[in-house]
């Protein structure tokens, strides 16, 4: 395809004009396993998670890493919120170089392993520090493996994000959330025709209405405590009003106008491990500056008012406890704090 017949999103996916958005889901599927004979064995200090705060898929991995207490065994590198067509860059670090990997662009880790790597350079990605090569960028598998393969290094009181008794139901729900909501906002925002947009719009809000109804009688998606399903939905909800409602034309109903979803999102935002990973400024900068096809001027909106994220949610009336029999994570690791001006608290008068 030529550049006059296509547009691209930040994952390297393509949108043909007149067609609907299709995400490229061909990721590097290698896994880090709790097996000393594996190609990539679990080993504290060996791997570095590269996860831009702006990206919802990367944001998931930062949340799960924090909830499980893996900060001391898997280091975190954070590219800036904007990038060019080549790669995410470490422009927030001194000299524009990741201090552990010694590279300026995530692309270098991909090319070191695959010199002719043909797909998008995406986050999250895990890099093998000794060799400097990318191990995987399969975002869904990364968080599952944090829960199931790194158990020996979970903190005391870490929540069970993959409860065996409800796993089948949870996986079915997460498939719907991914196809209809996580990816649904992109399908709306990158639609190549009016017809494709309206179809995507209807699918997205049908799914949001379904989840709104589900949350009327339960505090979290699977019941009384947080699971992986909540992590996967939350990162889209956190970006909905600041970005997707306007930028992606998902404007039938704002998140703040869904009674249950809005209360649920605030409940999670105010829970350690969730809101303390959200950088609203980086989120807005990323979408409004990078997506030139959608926002040619690159102007970043000042609003919306974010103070409502800290208002009482009253979801505790439904019972349950966020961490079940576990406990909340401790303070955010030094150097990983979200700047105050990028938080909801900065909007409180």
Please check whether residues 149 and 188 belong to one and the same domain. no
Ordered per-residue pLDDT tens for the chain, 349 residues: 222 333 344 444 545 566 677 777 789 999 999 999 999 999 999 999 999 999 999 999 999 999 999 999 999 999 999 998 888 999 999 999 999 999 999 999 999 999 999 999 999 999 999 999 999 999 999 999 999 999 999 999 999 999 999 999 999 999 999 999 999 999 999 999 999 999 999 999 999 999 999 999 999 999 999 999 999 999 999 999 999 999 999 999 999 999 999 999 999 999 999 999 999 999 999 999 999 999 999 999 999 999 999 999 999 999 999 999 999 999 999 999 999 999 999 999 8
Please check whether residues 265 and 312 belong to one and the same domain. yes
Domain-ending residue, one of 121, 143, 158 = 158
330 token code pair: 């401790």
Choice among 14, 27, 55, 269 that is catalytic? 55
In contact, 222 and 318? CB cutoff 8 Å = no
Please check whether residues 73 and 9 belong to one and the same domain. yes
**Beta strands 75-77 and 125-128, pairing class:** unpaired
Domain residue limits at 142? 1-158
pLDDT at 18: 60
Please check whether residues 270 and 293 belong to one and the same domain. yes
Residue 55 a catalytic site member: yes
Q: Is residue 125 part of a domain?
A: yes
Q: What are the residues facing 281 on neighbouring strands?
A: none
Domain-ending residue, one of 127, 158, 189 = 158
pLDDT at 84: 86
Choice among 14, 27, 153, 186 that is catalytic? 186
Q: Is residue 334 part of a domain?
A: no
Q: Is residue 217 part of a domain?
A: yes
Please check whether residues 100 and 227 belong to one and the same domain. no
Please check whether residues 146 and 218 belong to one and the same domain. no
Q: Is residue 336 part of a domain?
A: no
pLDDT at 16: 58
Residue 47 a catalytic site member: no
In contact, 117 and 146? CB cutoff 8 Å = no
Please check whether residues 170 and 26 belong to one and the same domain. no
In contact, 241 and 257? CB cutoff 8 Å = no
CATH code, 292: 1.20.1050.10
Rg (CA), the chain: 19
Q: Is residue 337 part of a domain?
A: no
CATH code, 104: 3.40.30.10
pLDDT at 1: 26
152 DSSP 8-state letter: G
Domain-ending residue, one of 121, 138, 158 = 158
Please check whether residues 214 and 108 belong to one and the same domain. no
pLDDT at 7: 39
Please check whether residues 71 and 195 belong to one and the same domain. no
Nearest Cα to 279, choosing from 344, 203, 220? 344
The C-alpha atoms of residue 203 and residue 209 are separated, in whole angstroms, by 10
Q: Is residue 343 part of a domain?
A: no
Q: Is residue 347 part of a domain?
A: no
Please check whether residues 138 and 22 belong to one and the same domain. yes
Please check whether residues 189 and 313 belong to one and the same domain. yes
Q: Is residue 228 part of a domain?
A: yes
Please check whether residues 205 and 99 belong to one and the same domain. no
Count: domains in the chain:
2
């Amino acid at each position: 395809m030529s550049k006059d017949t296509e547009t691209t999103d930040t994952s390297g996916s393509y949108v043909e004009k007149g067609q609907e958005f299709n995400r490229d889901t061909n990721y590097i599927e290698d896994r880090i396993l709790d097996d000393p004979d594996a190609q990539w064995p679990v080993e504290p200090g060996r791997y570095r998670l590269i996860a831009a705060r702006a990206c919802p898929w990367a944001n998931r991995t930062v949340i799960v890493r924090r909830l499980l207490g893996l900060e001391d065994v898997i280091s975190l590198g954070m590219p800036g919120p904007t990038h060019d067509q080549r790669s995410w860059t470490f422009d927030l670090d001194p000299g524009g170089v990741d201090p552990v990997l010694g590279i300026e662009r995530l692309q270098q880790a991909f090319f070191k392993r695959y010199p002719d790597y043909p797909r998008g350079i995406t986050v999250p990605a895990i890099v093998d520090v000794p060799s400097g090569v990318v191990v995987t960028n399969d975002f869904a598998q990364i968080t599952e493996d944090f829960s199931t393969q790194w158990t020996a290094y979970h903190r005391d009181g870490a929540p069970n994000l993959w409860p065996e008794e409800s796993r089948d139901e949870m996986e079915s729900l997460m498939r719907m959330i991914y196809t209809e909501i996580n990816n649904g906002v992109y399908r709306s925002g990158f639609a190549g025709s009016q017809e494709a947009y309206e179809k995507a719009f209807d699918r997205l809000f049908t799914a949001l209405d379904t989840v709104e109804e589900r949350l009327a009688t339960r505090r979290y998606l699977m019941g009384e405590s947080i699971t992986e399903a909540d992590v996967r939905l939350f990162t889209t909800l956190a970006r909905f009003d600041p970005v997707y409602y306007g930028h992606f034309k998902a404007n039938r109903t704002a998140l703040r106008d869904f009674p249950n979803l809005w209360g649920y999102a605030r409940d999670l935002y105010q829970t350690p491990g969730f809101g303390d990973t959200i950088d609203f400024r980086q989120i807005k900068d990323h979408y409004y500056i990078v997506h030139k096809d959608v926002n040619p001027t690159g102007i970043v909106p000042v609003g919306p008012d974010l103070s409502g994220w800290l208002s009482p949610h009253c979801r505790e009336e439904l019972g349950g406890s966020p961490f079940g029999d576990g406990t909340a994570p401790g303070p955010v690791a030094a150097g990983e704090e979200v700047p105050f001006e990028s938080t909801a608290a900065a909007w409180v008068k």
